[in-house]
Amino acid sequence: MGPGAASIQTRISTLAVCAAALAGGIAGCGGASDNGVAAKSPDGIVTAASNAVSGVKSVHVSGSLLSGGSPITLDLTLVAGKGGGGQMAVNGLSFRLIDVGQVVYINGSDAFWSRIGGSSAVQLFHGKWLRAPANGQFASIASLTNVQTLFNKLLSSHGTLAKGPTSTVAGQKAVAVVDTTKGGTLYVATTGQPYPVQIAKSGSQGGRIVFDRYNESTSLSAPANAIDVSKLR
């Protein structure tokens, strides 16, 4: 369907792999009364957070980090059992993302499409959405919009844990859990549900990701007239 079609798919796949690095470090909000989580062991705190998020209906994820020296930012709303959507940027190249009904939709800036597939990609996708199955080469991007997949990676992929102090983080009282092996700190709400509030990490792979707006009502819908990636072959 025009020059550079194959390279467009290849470069989008490469971007998906880069975006998958986000799953290594992400974090929400609570209510009013003390939930007792701060008195637990570090592993007990993570277990409590894991149990709490198992029933989450929706969550807002935002922040930025470095992955392999590449700056990544995201602002996504995730809906359990449905998908998610919002805005992302990798190396300053921004794109909108919607994952609904096991289908991924991407709407990139002209600079984004130019980097992916040159001027032919800009002409093809300017102001339009790309439609593709949420598996295969797009599985990494799709995983970022799956609430339980994201939380499972967040709360299970860690080394030795140590409990830190209780403080106010992103406007929420939270207790810190430090990964002394891999680095990074998870903050878990000490009031209301023990939801993850934030993950922060310093260094070359550092950044800060915040989780908030838990269980707010939100809707997702597929954009009309998207270009099917299978038609580019």
Which tokens go with 188?
């878990």
What b/e sequence results for 56-86 when a residue is b if at least 16 CB atoms lie within 10 Å of its CB, and e otherwise? bebbbbbbebebeeeebbbebbbbbebbbbb
Burial of 231: CB neighbours in 10 Å, binned 0-12, 13-18, 19+ = exposed
**Which pLDDT tens digit goes with each residue over 148-196?**
888 988 888 889 999 999 999 989 999 999 999 988 999 999 999 999 9
Residue 46: closest CA among 195, 181, 165: 195
d(CA 57, CA 45) in angstroms, rounded, equals 21
Which tokens go with 72?
């990544």
d(CA 170, CA 134) in angstroms, rounded, equals 32
CATH of region 5-218, choose from 3.40.190.10, 2.50.20.20, 3.40.50.300, 3.40.630.30: 2.50.20.20
d(CA 178, CA 101) in angstroms, rounded, equals 36
**Which pLDDT tens digit goes with each residue over 54-83?**
999 999 999 998 776 788 899 999 999 999
Q: What is the pTM of this model?
A: 0.82
Please count the residues of the chain: 233
